[in-house]
Structure 1
Amino acid sequence: SGQVGFSDDGEPHGTAGRPMLQVLLHCGVGEITMVVTRWFGGVKLGTGGLVRAYQDSVRENLATLPLAEKVPTVELDVQLDYAHLDRLHRLLPTFEARVCAEAYDQAARVRICLPEALRGPFEEAIAGRTDGRARCTPVEEA
């Protein structure tokens, strides 16, 4: 992780932020933020009870957290003849690609998003299916 931080925000020192962070650091999930708000307990729980309450809250939320793998993607502008559009669309599922935008003028322009690791193979495949006429240009991030 690029940044790691925690806060007890008014709770007794070491009873909220650090225990929650320890659970997060050992859960195997990256790029996550957790905020827990306590409405009841405090003095009645004691410091050990507060630590357990905050850790248990994080664990319970992690147990039901939907997870998704973050895959680096790239956007390509593909310019091709109208006669080759169907060939492009047939290739998309093979390369886990999807259409992000389309524009139709003298030639078709289709912006696609696909996993970065599949960019080279996709460009080779579309070139092969269009006799080298399709042009793929990476879209620069703004």
Structure 2
Amino acid sequence: MSVALETLAAPWRHEEDIRKSRFLAQAAPVGTTTEALAFVAAAGDATATHNCWAYRIGDAYRFNDDGEPGGTAGRPMLQAIDGQGCDRVVVVVTRWYGGIKLGAGGLARAYGGTAAECLRLAPRVAIVPMGRLLIHCDFAELALLTARIREMDGAIERETFVADGAELTVLAPLARLDTIAARVVDLSRGRIRPRRVD
């Protein structure tokens, strides 16, 4: 059985003082690597000693130690993301050096621990796998179909009018796609055959 992954419901911040250094973790939900890198750029503080970061979006992940010894910041932060069961998340931990060296183990614990605590405290939501159906219907059936689709947790992602009706792209939780497709077939008495598009 696979573990259900979560992402953050909203951006979150958490701050810790560790042996006179200040560590500020900022985390946010992201859907693309472009969004993650934009957050990294916006969250970093040019006056800080280091702005280390990590993100995971499905199989895509990256991390950066921003001048800290290799493997002491970014990788522990990525491990914190994974350890907290998160996906589609970016974390930036900013450090203001306080004059006491922490050593490699201390740095890894500080960066990883601050990131993990930030993610632990942040409000989260489950990631629901989504899928799409393509439906072609007559104009007369459009209002009824869209109402029924919405009742079953489907959203009309795109609606295009063509000569003989409408083409609908329906976005819905994967677990609901077969139910929606079967209901559309029933409502149309078998004339409409929804097609999966993934």
TM-score, structure 1 as length reference: 0.73
Match of 1:96 in 2: 153
Match of 1:46 in 2: 102
Q: C-alpha separation between the residues in 2 aligned to 1:3 and 1:128?
A: 40
Stretch deviating more after TM superposition (14-23 or 115-124): 14-23
Q: C-alpha separation between the residues in 2 aligned to 1:119 and 1:71?
A: 13
Q: C-alpha separation between the residues in 2 aligned to 1:58 and 1:44?
A: 20
Amino acid at match of 1:26: G
2:182 matches 1:124: yes
Q: C-alpha separation between the residues in 2 aligned to 1:86 and 1:64?
A: 43
- Secondary structure of 1:61's aligned partner: helix
Amino acid at match of 1:83: A
Task: Give identity over the alignment, percent.
Answer: 33
Q: CA deviation at 1:128?
A: 0.8
Change (3 A) 1:13 1:79: closer
Q: C-alpha separation between the residues in 2 aligned to 1:25 and 1:106?
A: 49
Match of 1:108 in 2: 166
- Secondary structure of 1:131's aligned partner: coil
- Secondary structure of 2:68's aligned partner: coil
- Secondary structure of 2:126's aligned partner: coil
Change (3 A) 1:120 1:12: closer
**Is contact 2:156-2:171 (8 Å) kept?**
yes
1:1-142, aligned counterparts within 5 Å?
A: 2=59, 8-12=65-69, 15-41=72-98, 43-47=99-103, 50-104=107-161, 105-140=163-198
Q: Which runs of 5+ in 1 are unaligned?
A: none
Q: CA RMSD in A?
A: 2.9
Change (3 A) 1:63 1:91: same
Q: CA deviation at 1:63?
A: 3.7
- Which of the pair is proportionally richer in strand? 2
- Secondary structure of 2:125's aligned partner: coil
Q: C-alpha separation between the residues in 2 aligned to 1:4 and 1:108?
A: 39
TM-score, structure 2 as length reference: 0.56
**Is contact 1:76-1:137 (8 Å) kept?**
yes
Amino acid at match of 2:133: L
Change (3 A) 1:54 1:89: same
Count of aligned positions = 139
CA offset digits 1:2-42 (Å, max 9, x no partner) = 4677554532466434543443343222354433232323x
Q: CA deviation at 1:135?
A: 3.0
Q: Of the two, which has the highest radius of gyration?
A: 1
Amino acid at match of 1:125: R
